[in-house]
Structure 1
Amino acid sequence: MYARVNPVALFDQFGHPPVSSPASVPTASPPVQADARAAAPHQRRRFRLALVVGSGGVRSVAVLGFIQGLREAGLSPDLLVGCSAGAMASALIATGVGMQEGIEVAATLWTADVTRQSRRGAVAQMLWPRWLGFDGDFSLRRDDLVRSRLKQVFGDTQIEHLPTPLRVVATCIETGDNACIDRGPVVDALRASIGIPFLFAPQHIDGQRMVDGFLSDPLPVSAANDADLTIAIGFVAPQPKRIDKPQRLLGSITSTMTNSLMQARLAAAQGQGQQIIAVFPEFDRRVGLFDVDAMPHVVAKGREAAHQVLPQIEQALARQTAGA
Structure 2
Amino acid sequence: MKKVIFCFILCLYMLPFLGFGQKVGLVLSGGGAKGLAHIGVIRALEENNIPIDYITGTSMGAIIGGLYAAGYSPDEMETLFKSEDFKLWFRGIIPPRYVYYFKKLDENPSFIDLDFARNEDKMKLALPTNIIPPGQIDFAFMELFSPANAVAENNFNQLFVPFRCVATDIYLNKPIVFSKGDLGLAVRASMTVPFFFKPIEIDSVLLFDGGLVNNFPYDVMHQDFKPDIMIGSAIDFKDKKPKRDDLKLQIWNMMVRKTNYLIPDSLGITIKSPVDNFAFLDFERFDEIENAGYKSTLAQIEDIKSRISRRSDFDLLNRRREEFRSKSPTMVFNNIQVSGVDASQRYYVIQSIRHKSKTFDLEELRREYFKILADDKIKSLLPTTDYNKNTCFFDLQLKAEQQKPLEVGVGGYFSLSDVNQGYIGLDYRLFNNLPITIQTNIHIGKFYSSFMVGSRFNFTTKQPFSLDLYFIKNRFNYFSGSTELFFEDRRPHYVIRNDDNIQFDVSFPAKTTSKWEAGINFVNQSNEYYQTTKYTQNDEPDQTTFTAGNLHAHFEEKAFNKKQYPTEGKMVKFEAAYIFGTEKEDPGSTSSNNLKFRKEHQYIQLELIYERYFKTSKWLTLGIETDSYFSSKKLFNNYTSSLISANNFSPTVNSTIRYLPYLRANNYVAGGLKAIVPISPSAHIRLEGFYFQPFEELLST
TM-score with structure 2 setting the length: 0.33
Are residues 137 and 316 of structure 1, via their aligned partners in 2, closer, same or farther at CA, if it must alter by over 3 Å?
farther
Is residue 300 of structure 2 the alignment partner of residue 306 of structure 1? no
The 1-side partners of 2:283 and 2:131 are apart by 24
Q: How does 1:99-114 map to 2 (within 5 A)?
A: 99-108=74-83, 111=87, 114=90
Check whether the contact 2:50–2:308 (CA below 8 A) recurs between aligned residues: no
Q: 1:229 and 2:222 equivalent?
A: no
Residue among 271, 283, 290 paired with 1:279: 271
Distance 1:142 1:47 in 2: 44
- The residue number in structure 2 matching 1:153 is 144
Letter in 1 for 2:90: V
| 1:167 correspondence with 2:164 | yes
- Give SS of 1:196's match: coil
Q: 2-side partners of 1:275 and 1:258: how far apart?
A: 29
Partner in structure 2 of residue 212 of structure 1: 209
Greater Rg by CA: 2
Helix, strand or coil at the partner of 1:180: strand
- The structure-2 alpha-carbon separation of the partners of 1:122 and 1:141, relative to structure 1 and needing over 3 Å to count, comes to farther
Q: Is the 8 A contact 1:49 1:77 kept in 2?
A: yes
> Which amino acid letter does the alignment assign opposite residue 230 of structure 2?
T
CA distance in 1: counterparts of 2:232 and 2:255, whole angstroms: 16
The change in CA–CA distance for 1:259 and 1:237 in structure 2 (over 3 A counts) is farther
Report SS of the residue matched to 1:200.
coil
* Separation in structure 2 between the aligned mates of residue 142 and residue 168 of structure 1, nearest angstrom: 23
Distance (Å, rounded) in 2 between the aligned partners of 1:221 and 1:175: 21
Matched, 1:186 2:183: yes
String of CA shifts for 1:177-215, please: whole Å, max 9, x gaps: 111111122210111011123443322223322210100
| Matched residue, 2:451 | none
**For residues 276-299 of structure 1, what are the alpha-carbon distances to aligned partners after superposition, in whole Å with 9 as ceiling and x for unaligned?**
31221014x732222222111111
**Counterparts of 1:236 and 1:310, CA distance in 2:** 20
Residue 30 of structure 2 is aligned to residue 55 of structure 1: yes
Call closer, same or farther: CA 1:306–1:107 in 2, change over 3 Å. same
Structure 1 residues without counterparts, runs of 5 or longer? 1-45, 320-324
1:54: Cα distance to partner? 0.6
Given that residues 213 and 257 in structure 2 are in contact (C-alpha distance below 8 angstroms), is that contact kept between their aligned partners in structure 1?
Answer: no
Using a 3 Å threshold, how does the CA distance of structure 1 residues 129 and 102 change in structure 2: closer, same or farther? same
Q: 1:75 aligns with which of 41, 50, 58?
A: 50
Mapped to 2, the partners of 1:162 and 1:289 lie a distance apart of: 29
Q: CA deviation at 1:274?
A: 6.2
Q: Which has the higher strand share?
A: 2
- Say if 1:206 and 1:93 are closer, same or farther in 2 by CA, change over 3 A: same
Provide TM-score, normalisation by structure 1: 0.68
Higher helix share: 1
> Residues 233 and 280 of structure 1 are in contact (CA less than 8 Å); yes or no, is this contact kept in structure 2?
yes
Secondary structure at the residue paired with 1:167? strand
Q: What does the per-residue CA deviation read over 1:101-145, in whole Å, with 9 as the maximum and x for residues that have no partner?
A: 21121235763763557xxx984459x976458899954553111
- 1-side partners of 2:92 and 2:308: how far apart? 46
On the 8 A contact 2:89/2:140 being kept in 1, the answer is no
Task: Give the counterpart letter for 2:297 in structure 1.
Answer: A
Distance (whole Å) between structure 2 residues aligned to residue 129 and residue 237 of structure 1 = 40
From the superposition, tell whether residues 122 and 54 of structure 1 become closer, same or farther in structure 2 (CA, over 3 Å). farther
Q: CA deviation at 1:154?
A: 2.4
Identity %: 19
Asked if 2 retains the 8 angstrom alpha-carbon contact of 1:140 and 1:198, the reply is yes
Alignment of 1:4-15 (within 5 A): none
C-alpha distance in 2, partners of 1:274/1:210? 33
What corresponds to 2:68 in structure 1?
93
Number of aligned residues: 262
Question: C-alpha separation between the residues in 2 aligned to 1:276 and 1:69?
Answer: 17
Instruction: Select the structure with the greater relative contact order (CA < 8 A; seq sep ≥ 6).
Output: 1
Residue 509 of structure 2 corresponds to none
CA–CA distance in structure 2, aligned partners of residues 307 and 254 of structure 1: 36
Say if 1:139 and 1:122 are closer, same or farther in 2 by CA, change over 3 A. Answer: farther
Tell me the secondary structure at the aligned position of residue 175 of structure 1.
coil
More displaced 10-residue stretch of structure 1: 94-103 or 211-220? 94-103
Spell out, residue by residue over 1:152-172, the C-alpha distance to the aligned partner (whole angstroms, 9 max, x if none): 322343253421111111111
**How much is the aligned-residue C-alpha RMSD, in angstroms?**
3.7
SS of the aligned residue for 1:253 comes to helix
